[in-house]
Structure 1
């Protein structure tokens, strides 16, 4: 039943914010979702058999809250040309495939290629394991991604970052504070993720939150080793 519910929430947000793109609506839904149940306990994964806390792979961003999604504070937006760069660079589609999606002739060599973890999504997923040069003994023990947020809350607002680091990973966010003076103002930040000792397993997860006096904008973090 998730699909029809989310379609209804997206329709409500589109009605309230007709100028928002599909990416902005998706961002509002994801960054305001709950990760705890009504008793304040972590959302459980029924499929685990033991009602273990659900991972990001089981629950996604969390339980949708339409009211909060209508006023998310910040959104992660994506322009059409960014998707083209992602199809070329992130998904490695052929030029004919990208042209078919775009509805016009695209030359991937003429656009800025965007890696999968660099697309301006409201979540962060990186691989700190084997690099493409792993046969030569090269590993990617650190990765830096960038994100851009747009202020859709209060004109004058300040957000401070709080990070719950994934196990086995050190996270550095620059800058650690975002100050806005107008609506629709954009600010960018970078997130440096570094493997910290022996990996705890194949995956590790955490979260990044931008917090103001009114909003909490949460992004799940997933790391593969």
Structure 2
């Protein structure tokens, strides 16, 4: 019975969009959820709370984490897949490049950092209808030492371009150990919103 509400919501989305992948369903739930902001959740961050990813993307992520062919076979259930440095696949080149709805990074306390995150978003709206989404960045925590830039700041979709790519660059310094700073990249067409949390954290001294 782990997270029955989330499972029920996922099942509902699947009943309406039977051709959606698991990654798309997860993305839809994450990017459209209302941020929790109640006294019982004071001090929490966005990481608690539609991007698509294929099997090849997850395999590439495992490869960047050092998994070998034997370990991959145990996870995938087949020994036909192996990591290849010379692969021409467009799958993630690093773990952070996995096309995931959220973006998170660890920073060293008091040191400058820059995180560059590529993402691709898929338009799953009405077929043949053009859509334009503009971007804004919302900081949910005081972030005087953090900057978030997104390029491009406008995405346009039509029947010829159902997908659009953008890059999020997060830079600055997190001054204290154990600190978490969160923001959100929000795409909107004045009717719909797609919200992706951005979290930067430091390890505690403990």
> Per the shorter chain, which TM-score range?
0.7 to 0.9
Deviation at 1:85, TM superposition (A): 0.2
2:98 to 119, 127, 150: 119
Match among 14, 32, 39 for residue 44 of structure 1: 39
| Residue 199 of structure 1: aligned partner | 175
List gaps (5 residues or longer) in structure 1: 37-41, 47-51, 62-74, 131-138
Does the residue aligned with 1:109 lie in a helix, a strand or coil? coil
Q: 1:94 to 1:190 in 2, by over 3 A?
A: same
| Backbone CA RMSD of aligned residues | 2.3
Contact 2:151 2:167 in 1 (8 A): yes
Alpha-carbon separation, structure 2, partners of 1:199 and 1:145: 22
Asked if structure 1 preserves the Cα contact closer than 8 Å seen for 2:45 and 2:180, the reply is no
Q: What is the aligned residue count? A: 190
* CA displacement at 1:180 relative to structure 2: 0.8
- Describe the shift of the 1:77–1:206 C-alpha distance in structure 2 as closer, same or farther (beyond 3 A): same
Structure 2 unaligned residues grouped into runs of 5+: none
Summarize deviations over 1:173-208 as a string: whole Å, max 9, x none: 000000111288000000111115x62553211111
**What is the CA–CA distance in structure 2 between the aligned matches of 1:157 and 1:143, rounded to whole Å?**
29
2:53 aligned partner:
78
Cα offset for 1:14? 1.0
1:185 aligns with 2:162: yes
* Farther off after superposition, 162-171 or 118-127: 162-171
Task: Name the structure 1 match of 2:71.
Answer: 97
Q: 1:207 to 1:80 in 2, by over 3 A?
A: same
1:13 aligns with 2:13: yes
1:87 to 41, 53, 62: 62
TM-score (norm 2): 0.82
More RCO (CA 8 Å, sep 6+): 2
TM-score calculated relative to the size of structure 1: 0.76
- Please give the residue correspondences for 1:23-34 in structure 2 after superposition, counting only pairs within 5 Å: 23-34=23-34
Alpha-carbon distance change, 92 to 207 in structure 1, aligned in 2, over 3 angstroms: same
Alpha-carbon contact 2:70-2:79 (below 8 Å) kept: no
Structure 1 residue matching 2:33: 3-state secondary structure: coil
Match of 2:113 in 1: 141
